[in-house]
Each structure stands twice: as structure tokens, then as C-alpha cells.
Chain A
Amino acid sequence: MGGSVFPQWIDRARPLFGVVLAIVPVYLIVMAYYGGSPQTTDVGYMPDQPVPFSHALHAGELGIDCRYCHTTVEKASFAAVPPTSVCMNCHERIAADTALLLPVRESWASGEPIPWVKVHDLPDFAYFDHSAHVSRGVGCLECHGRIDKMDQVRQVASLSMSWCLECHRNPEKHLRPVEFVTDLDWKPSEDQAILGKRLRQENNINPSTDCSTCHR
């Protein structure tokens, strides 16, 4: 049986096959990185909330400080979602009859909490202390973005480990005077590098990068 089972063109097509074979692993790796990146999987999470609460209105237009509602941010490890009573501080009298606020009133009446959907949710194996950051001058903006411009809250940072570490290793870029932590519109009055360095020294900020800092 003379001859190869393979036709002659097989050899001519070798460069083509070679290129395809070389591209396939590169393609798969790039896809895994691109598709698996937290930029893809995490950023942009914008769930519908039971009440169409607008931060753009309350925090933006009305200028209510974050801490009016999220009262624990400065002293607890978690940033509390306000209880219905805080809503009712105003909405007992303002827009008290609107349909949009019906779930709030129902909650107020029944005592059942409003099932808000958590947007910035870290994995359970990561320990995060909110107060440690806010009370040292890491602005809300650094993690949450311009909440005061969002009608519906959306995750803007990846909240991945490398993202955390980036700041823990070089905190200067992300520091501001403590009194401005909630000021989403704040701009440094001097070079951020110099300011950050000074603030870091003044406040003795030495973020740990030990595993047990976050995984405890």
C-alpha cells in the first residue's frame, strides 16, 4: 500500500495549523483572565432594591451626610443599613402616602425589616473593619465611588484581594483628612502624594499585609 494516508496539502497547511495551535492556549488563557477577572464578575453589580431609594437625591441633592443613616460606620466593623425608623424620621411626614414608600410603611407597621439587598458584599473568609478605615481617613469614595450620583447603588470597585492590597501597600494615594471622609466631592488642596505621606505619618498608618489581617 504505497503512499501516505495523509494528503499532500497537510504539509502545506502546517503553518495554518501551527498558528491555530499556538493561538488556542493563548486564547484560552486570555479568556480565563478576562472573563474571570473581578472587573467582569463583580464590578457593576446593581441589584434592584425593594424600595427605589435614591442616594443621588438624599446624599447628593439634599446633602444628607452618609452617617445620618449609616450610623455605625465610624465605630463598628460593619456599615449598618439603617433601620426603617430612620426612614420614618422624615417620611412619616414627607411623601408619606406615596406608593413608592409603601414597603417602608409596611415595615414600619409590622416591624419586619425591609429586605435591602447588600451590594458591597465581601466573601465570608475576608474580614473587613469599616471603622478602621473611615476613622483613619479613607474616604467613602475610595471604595464606593460617587454614591451621591447614583440613583441605584452599583459596585464600582472590584473589592478583590489585589485591590485591597494595592491600597494596603501604598495607602498615601487614598488618604484624606478624617473630617472629609464622607465628602464625596472633596479635592485635596495640595499634592496628594505629599498630603498622603503627611497624613500617614501623623495618623501612624501602617496597614498590615499579613494574611491574618483579613483572613482570621
Chain B
Amino acid sequence: MSTITLPAEDNTTDDPRRRAPLTMGGQTLTSITETVARIAERPRPPRAWYVAFAVSSTLTAALILAAIYLIAVGVGVWGNNVPVAWAFDIVNFVFWVGIGHAGTLISAILFLFRQRWRTSVNRFAEAMTIFAVICAGIFPAIHIGRVWFVYWLAPYVNQMAVWPNFRSPLLWDVFAVGTYATVSLLFWYLGMIPDLATLRDRATSRVRRIAYGIFALGWRGSGRQWHRYERAYMLLAGLATPLVLSVHSVVSFDFAVSVVPGWHTTIFPPYFVAGAIFSGFAMVVTLMVPARAFFGLKDLVTLRHLENMNKVILATGCMVGYAYSIEFFIAWYGGNPYEQFAFINRAFGPYTWAYWIMVTCNVVAPQAFWFKKVRTTPWMMVIVCILVNIGMWFERFVIVVTSLSRDYLPSAWEYYRPTAVDITMLLGSFGLFFTLFLLFCRYLPMVAMAEVKAVLPHHHAAGDWQTPAPAEPHANGESHQGIRYPDQVSEGH
């Protein structure tokens, strides 16, 4: 087993005798810089970018207009009614927070698990996290009805001499989502500093040099800096890992600490976390497949990466299916007639359509990922992942709306119907998400260059069992072209 040669276009081998390469196409330090930095350096993006941006910013404008209308007129413009006081707003909130879980998961947990394939996709996913959390934050803020008083949620010294109620799960949400947004941003930015320095050093215009220069903070990639940087990165990863679990757990507490049938169940925290990772990864794959084709990143973000993410989707999809089943079983086993009614009503009541969309998309659809063919064929995985995203939105819809619409008092039963504002804001949140995402694609390094370089084979060979062929540098002063290494890498230990 000396040198392994692989077919150039595929690294999805299952052969246990070797590790598939992380990147394709004989990557070098130079080629990685070129591939990634060039995307952000184009004077003008391709026309398709403009088209996408026009669509998404139009939707964003719709979101803003809908929000202004809602703030001006009142929350009544939503379809929320008694007793369905939580509807699209909280559904969207939970949905987007869930989407936001993939980034930190890839960045932090896979980092701690030494999954080196994360390096190609983590930047992308972290950016998604931040944008998703922004989208998520809008809805509860608006839902409080008087959005201009949103600062009342913060514990600050005030002339009313009151403090927030820390025994309320809604306040935990403020802290959890706020901390999550902050830490995700720090993590994303810290990881991006070396890459911003790369863009700074390659920049040709003064404006870009100043702009990237400021945000790169004068990074020099020095040995002493790297030492502390790596330690800080690991600490942040260690902190972000329990954080990411806590955030959706806290979101689940919003429901589960109540006594509403269908909400109050102890499995909610891990179940919500699994669902969040599930939907987050599905969103990453949905966006990654077109983006890697569109921006020429197929060699850095390979089918292998996508396949690995699809496996995570399969695993978390099964966990979600497990939770659905256990909930149903215990609803019967517990012997509480209200709980039983809540579940029967979910499956066969007025929202039966939503429930079966949820089950089909979340439990049935990802089972396709048992097949390698589906896991490694871009168009197939995109279909499954889009279904998963739809299913996860409906999961939140089912949880929120079916439980509320059938209150304890039949006199208060009411069917919820979204209004045009509801639907506009849902679509608008997607618009905002994609707008931010497109801006990110245009101006920032989409792949963590320094991290991908660090997992090129030569680097970590120092103490590794895989000793690569000796490097053959072509260093010759001014025309230094970087160093070629064999494109054979391990994806993890």
C-alpha cells in the first residue's frame, strides 16, 4: 500500500484500506488561494448572481414592507387568533433557528471530532448560521407586538424599577439566541481573519486593501499568532458545542415547560436538537450543491463532503422519526386523554395534511439516503434535502398550531389560517436569508482557505502515519508558484 491513485472525478470510495482525498484536482496552496479568492475578487459577478440577488432582495423588500405594515397596524394582520396565538411567527422562528444549527455544528462539533472534511464547508455553513439566526430573530421581536420595546427583554436598570422574569422560558430564549448569535459571529469572524488577510494581500485596489485590511486586523500568520489562534479556535469550538445543543433545547423549553398537550413531553430537548441539525444540514446541502457548481468549487467541496452531510441527515432524520414514534407511544401509554387526543388530532384532525407532509418529508424522504446512489448524486440529494426543509417547517407548524388550535376548552377551538402577511413574511425571510447569503458569496471567502491548506497532506504529515512523498518545491524567488503535493489526504483519523 504505497501510493494510491484515485479516479480524478470521484472521491466517494468506500474502500476501507485508504482514506479518500479531501480535495480533488491536485490542489496546491496556490491553487486553493486562487480558486477561493478569485470568487471574491471578480470585478462583477456573473449575471445569474444579479438575477438571484434581484429576486431575493425583492422578497426582502416585501418582508420589510410587511413588517412595517404589521408594526403600524398591529399583530392582528397575522392570522393568529384565539387560541392559536402562536402561529407562523413562532413556526418561522423555530425553523430558522434550526437551520442555524448546521453551521456551528460543522464548525465546532466536527472540529472536535477531528472530521477534517469540515474544512471545505464550515465557512459556508457558519455564514448560513448567522443569516438564519438573523432571520429567526425577526419573528419573536415582531411577535411581542410592540417591537419598539424589544429592549425591555434585557435586564437593565430602568425607571420602572422592574427586572425581567428569569423563570420564563421566553427570556431564556433571548439569552440563548443572543449568545448563540454572538458566539457564532465571533467564531465565524475569528476563522475568517487569516482568509481576510489573504484577500488583503491579494487586493489590487486601494479600497479593497483598506477594507479587507481593517477586518484582517493586521494578521501576519506568524507562528506565535497561529499558536494562540489555534488554541482560541479550539476553545470556541468547545464552547460552541454545548451551546448549539442548548439553544434548541431552550427553544424546546418554550413549549415543553407548559402543560399544553402535545408540547409537554420530556423528549423535546434532544428531539428539537436532532431536528435542528437535520434541517440545518439539509439547507447546507441544498445551497452547497448549486453554489459549488456555480462558483467552481467542485474540487474543494467534493461529492464526498456532500455524501458525509447526507449521512448526517439520514442519522438525524432517523432520530426525528424515533422521537415522533416515542411521542405517539407515550401519548397512549401515559393514559392521559388530552394527550391522546392531541396526537390523534395531529394525525387525523383538521391539520392532517400538515402532519402527513411532515412525516413523509422528514421520516420517509431521508430514507433514500440509505442508497449511495442518492447520497452521491447532486440532483437527487437536492430533492431530498428540499423535501426535508419543507418537512421540518411543517414539523414546527404541526407542533405549534395543532396543539394550540385544540385547547382544553372546545368552546375556544379555532382553525388557523395564514393571511397574506403571514405568507409574505415567510417568503420574505427566505429573501433576506438569500440576500445576505449572496452578499457573502460575493465579498467574502466562501471556503476557509487556511483550514483547507492545513489539511493538505504535507502539513499534518509531521506526526502522521501517512508519510507523503517528499515535497518537491519549485521555489525560485519572484516566480514562486507554490508547492505541489500529492493529492492524497486523510479525511480524519
Contact = CB atoms under 8 A, between A and B. Distances in A.
A33 B159 CA distance: 9
Contact of A5 (B158, B161, B209): B209
B8 interface: no
Contacts of B210: 5-6
Contacts of A4: 213, 218
A38 B209 contact: no
A162 B210 CA distance: 49
Assign chain B's interface to a size class: 10 to 19
A5 B161 CA distance: 51
A37 B161 CA distance: 12
A161 interface: yes
A165 B213 contact: no
Nearest to A29: B156
A37 B159 contact: yes
Interface string B200-219: 00000010011001000010
B160 A161 contact: yes
A166 B209 contact: no
A213 B157 CA distance: 22
A160 interface: yes
A152 interface: no
Contacts of B213: 4-6
> Which among B159, B162, B209, B210 has the greatest number of chain A C-beta atoms within 10 A?
B159
Contacts of A166: 161
Contacts of B206: 5
Nearest to B160: A161
B207 to A, nearest CB: 10
Interface residues of A, number: 13
A161 B161 CA distance: 7
A158 interface: yes
> Which among B157, B161, B218 has the greatest number of chain A C-beta atoms within 10 A?
B161
Interface string A165-183: 1100000000000000000
Contacts of B157: 33
Contacts of B161: 161-162, 165-166
Contacts of A162: 158-161
A164 B162 CA distance: 12
B209 A160 contact: no
Nearest to A37: B159
A158 B209 contact: no
A165 B161 CA distance: 7
Nearest to B204: A1
B214 to A, nearest CB: 9
A161 B163 CA distance: 13
Nearest to B210: A5
Contacts of B159: 37-38, 158, 160-163
A67 to B, nearest CB: 31
Interface string B180-209: 000000000000000000000000001001
Contacts of B160: 160-162
A161 B209 contact: no
Contacts of A160: 159-160
A37 B157 CA distance: 11
A56 to B, nearest CB: 30
Nearest to A168: B161
Contacts of A6: 210, 213, 218
B408 to A, nearest CB: 24
Contacts of B218: 4, 6
Interface string B153-179: 000011111100000000000000000
Interface string B119-141: 00000000000000000000000
A4 B212 CA distance: 12
A47 B210 CA distance: 55
A165 B210 CA distance: 53
A16 B210 CA distance: 20
Contacts of B209: 5
Contacts of A161: 159-162
Nearest to A4: B213
A213 B218 CA distance: 58
B352 to A, nearest CB: 41
Nearest to B214: A6
Interface in A144-166: 158, 160-163, 165-166
Nearest to A10: B218
Nearest to A164: B161
Contacts of B162: 161
Contacts of A33: 157
A166 B159 CA distance: 11
A168 to B, nearest CB: 10
Nearest to B201: A1
Interface in A29-64: 33, 37-38
A158 B158 CA distance: 13
Interface in B467-492: none
8 contacts: A4-B213, A6-B213, A38-B159, A158-B159, A161-B160, A162-B161, A165-B161, A166-B161
Given A4-B213, A33-B157, A165-B161, 13 more contacts: A5-B209, A5-B210, A6-B218, A37-B159, A160-B159, A161-B159, A161-B160, A161-B161, A161-B162, A162-B158, A162-B159, A162-B160, A163-B159
Interface of A: 4-6, 33, 37-38, 158, 160-163, 165-166
Task: Please provide the 7 A-B residue pairs with the shortest distance between their CB atoms, ordered closest to farther.
Answer: A162-B161, A161-B160, A160-B159, A5-B209, A165-B161, A162-B159, A38-B159
